[in-house]
């Protein structure tokens, strides 16, 4: 099965941008950690609709991009814990 046919143009860039924005929000200390994924999802939906127009695919792409960004962040955090022996 080819998963690449489910990924539309720009989702990878959106996920990378969301990851960087999430790190920025975490370091900003104005947004509680619990709310960062929701802020990222809202921004992702708005950006994807602005890029591709209002469609179900735009919302699904935004959810996929946000999930990817949060997953990568968690992989980094858990990897650091493992390497430190926690």
CA distances from 14 to 4, 29, 44, 58 (A): 16, 23, 7, 12
Q: Give me the long-range contacts of 1-8 (CB less than 8 A, separation at least 24).
A: 7/61, 7/64, 8/52, 8/57, 8/61
pLDDT in the model for residue 69: 96
pLDDT in the model for residue 13: 94
pLDDT in the model for residue 50: 94
26-70 pLDDT per residue, tens: 999 899 999 999 999 999 999 999 999 999 999 999 999 999 999
Could you tell me where the DSSP H helices lie in 1-86?
Answer: 11-28, 36-52, 56-84
């Amino acid at each position: 099965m080819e998963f690449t046919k489910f990924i539309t143009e720009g989702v990878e860039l959106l996920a990378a941008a969301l990851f960087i924005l999430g790190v920025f929000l975490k370091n900003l200390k104005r947004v509680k950690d619990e709310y960062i994924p929701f802020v990222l999802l809202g921004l992702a939906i708005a950006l994807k609709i602005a890029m591709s127009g209002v469609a179900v695919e735009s919302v699904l792409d935004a959810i996929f991009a946000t999930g990817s960004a949060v997953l990568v962040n968690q992989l980094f955090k858990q990897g650091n814990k493992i390497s430190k022996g926690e």
